[in-house]
Amino acid sequence: MGARVEDGRDPAGADAVQTVDYGGAAAAPTVVADAGYEFTGWDKPFDHVTCDLTVTAQYAKDIIEPTAPLGPVQTTEPPKTPEPTVAATESVPEETIPEAPALPVTGEDPLDWMLAVGILALAVGAILLFARRNGKNI
């Protein structure tokens, strides 16, 4: 069995490929992370190798915490915004509120149209049925 353990920088290195007995463990190489990165572990376990395996080192970018400024810090307060003024409201008696004008009645009802189309469809169907029974193809 072969176990290839890569540190992410020199996968063709002399110690990168190890021969391991079936079920054996591969030895982890010494990992040195580049500046600004931290070694976080391996992408898969290699303590019980049962087939050819490539294991890769995982890194994470260092998080740099902000530091306090060296000199005195001048703080400026944001300009104060004036408080919004609310006008007093006066209630209006309901009888003084005019009603909206009613829409004019056109006399059209959607049900009338649907009824007319349905009757027309029945009439056409009856004519076609009558013609077919009498041997005429329309």
The residue-averaged pLDDT of 12-31 equals 75
Q: Please tell me the distance from the alpha carbon of residue 115 to that of residue 126, in angstroms, as a whole number.
A: 17
User: Between the CA of residue 45 and those of 5, 14, 32, 93, what are the distances in Å?
Assistant: 11, 21, 19, 80
pLDDT at 57: 83
| Amino acid, res. 90 | E
| Amino acid, res. 39 | F
Q: Please tell me the distance from the alpha carbon of residue 32 to that of residue 44, in angstroms, as a whole number.
A: 19
pLDDT at 138: 64
Q: How confident is the model at residue 72 (pLDDT cuts 50, 70, 90)?
A: low
pLDDT at 65: 72
Cβ neighbours, 10 Å, residue 55:
20
Question: What is the pTM for the complete model shown?
Answer: 0.40
Backbone angles phi, psi at 5, to 5 degrees: -110, 115
pLDDT in tens, 83-105: 666 555 666 566 666 677 776 66
pLDDT in tens, 33-58: 888 888 888 888 888 888 888 888 88
Q: Please tell me the distance from the alpha carbon of residue 115 to that of residue 120, in angstroms, as a whole number.
A: 9
CA proximity to 56, closest of 97, 8, 89, 88 = 8
The residue-averaged pLDDT of 111-135 equals 87
Domain boundaries, the chain: 2-61, 110-138
Among 60-64, 103-107, 112-116, the least confident range: 103-107
pLDDT at 10: 54
Q: CA 4 from chain center: how many Å? A: 37
| Amino acid, res. 31 | V
pLDDT at 14: 46
Among 28-32, 42-46, 48-52, 77-81, the least confident range: 77-81
